[in-house]
Amino acid sequence: MRVLFIAALHHPAELEKAQRAAPPGQEPLFPPSQGQHFWVRALRKAGHECAVFWRSQSALPWARSDQLRMTQRLTPGRAAAALLARVPALNPDFRARNRRLIDFAAQFRPDILILTGDNSVIYPETLDALRQAHGAPLVYGCGTSPIVFSRPVERAAAPLYDLVIANDYYHAIQWRELGARRVEALPMSAIDPGFHHPFDLTEQERQQYACDVGFVGTLVPNKLYGERIAALEALRDFDLGIWSVHEVPASLRQFYRGPALGEQMLRATCAARIALNPHGDFMRYGGNMRLFEVCGVGAFQIVDDRPGVQTWFNVGEHLVTYRDPDHLREQVAYYLAHDDERQRIAAAGLAHVRAHHTYDHRMARLVELIEESRAG
């Protein structure tokens, strides 16, 4: 099948670096820091042809794409983006991008359309025209809550989505209520053993990344990551290391080690004795990328107790959970003092995700769901 992704590019420098390092004819479509990179790898391995249309790329020749960076400050760029998101149909750049998408699809002739989340650019009428012109089911993949994050154009297009893939079960329910034809709670994240694996770190890397408790991820804004911030604040008297490409709250800034994306993120995770994974406040069921990736690199993981964690893993065998900041402190202190248990659980977690949670597994299931949607 011919699969067309309609997506936003978050880390253009990472994509350029990955493309330069790839053999001719095997250039990646996405940077390794975005989960769709591994979707494409798995789909290509299964014999499908993939292409991507960057909806985030301006149609204006003088505009440039910058790396996504979360901030709590109100900047002119954020204010302008918020205004345009309210009236996307009045944006001449957006209208031009929609026309370019229609032309791109006419050349590629997709069998499947996959729209990734946080869309503020592609109009519902454009998506409907693509579905009709190519007879292609429209798959929407979103890792966040539509109540918290979705844009008006995303919600307006919900009845057009032939299939919504949401890694959080509660988000799936919300999309069904918005009118999506079929919704499946399927984790969008997994591991690719060729990329997510234990790393042999150099002595310099061990010194650079070593810590008792490590965290890599987003911490702003506070209203979306308050529980994550509270968990890290509870560990400020431990040897704590934090990596993020976004801003870090003042209360945790002393532990900030810098940005980490792609392989650097995985190496930082490997170096920590404990990899901490508190979900965002909006993920009540669980299933972020880190949940699977931490196990995939053979690291020991402590994650907040979420229903999905207990669905996909055996707690105490593959990873460990905590209930609240006080319980987290107890768990961290205990496992720092018990190396053998920590290493045994990390090894079991690695074997588990390799056997059950690879992107090959995810994409095989996605193709099954698409075929079922077509037949139904």
Q: Which residues are registered as beta bridge partners of 49? A: 2
Q: How much is the pLDDT for 167?
A: 85
For residues 191 and 353, what is the distance between their CA atoms, to the nearest angstrom? 7
DSSP 8-state code for residue 307: H
pLDDT band at 375 (very low <50, low <70, confident <90, very high): confident
Which pTM does this prediction carry?
A: 0.91
- CA distance linking residue 365 with residue 238, whole number of Å: 41
Checking DSSP bridges between strand 240-243 and strand 211-216, what pairing results, if any? parallel
- Give the pLDDT confidence score for residue 180 in this predicted structure: 95
A 10 A CB-CB count for 204 gives 8
Provide the pLDDT confidence category of residue 144 given band limits of 50, 70 and 90. Answer: confident
CATH of domain 203-356: 3.40.50.2000
Q: Which amino acid is at 194?
A: G
pLDDT for the residue 151: 86
Averaged pLDDT for residues 335-361: 98
E strands in the chain: 2-7, 49-54, 112-116, 138-142, 163-166, 183-185, 211-216, 240-243, 256-258, 272-277, 301-304, 320-322
Is residue 18 within 8 A of residue 28, CB to CB? The reply is yes
pLDDT-derived band of residue 80, with 50, 70 and 90 as boundaries? low
Higher confidence at residue 144 or residue 28? 28
Query: Concatenated DSSP letters for 95-108?
Result: HHHHHHHHHHHHHH
How far apart, in Å, are the Cα atoms of 136 and each of 4, 65, 100, 295, 374? Answer: 10, 29, 18, 36, 9
Q: What is the pLDDT of residue 88?
A: 74
Which residues on adjacent β-strands are paired with residue 304?
322
Contacts of 96 (CB under 8 A, 6+ apart): 59, 60
**Six-digit token string for 133:** 């012109």
Percentage of the residues of the chain whose pLDDT score is greater than 90: 85
pLDDT of residue 141: 94
Q: Which CATH number does 2-190+359-375 carry?
A: 3.40.50.2000
User: Residues of CATH 3.40.50.2000 domain(s) within the chain?
Assistant: 2-190+359-375, 203-356
Residue 74: predicted pLDDT? 56
Q: Residue 12, Cβ neighbours under 10 Å: how many?
A: 17
The string of pLDDT tens digits covering residues 39-71 is 999 999 999 999 999 999 998 876 655 455 555
End-to-end Cα, the chain, rounded Å: 19
Q: What is the pLDDT of residues 213-245, one digit of tens each?
A: 999 999 999 999 999 999 999 999 999 999 999
How high is the mean pLDDT of the chain?
93
Q: What is the pLDDT of residues 162-212, one digit of tens each?
A: 999 998 999 999 999 999 999 999 998 999 999 999 999 999 999 999 999
Confidence of residue 272 (pLDDT cuts 50, 70, 90): very high
pLDDT in tens, 307-319: 999 999 999 999 9
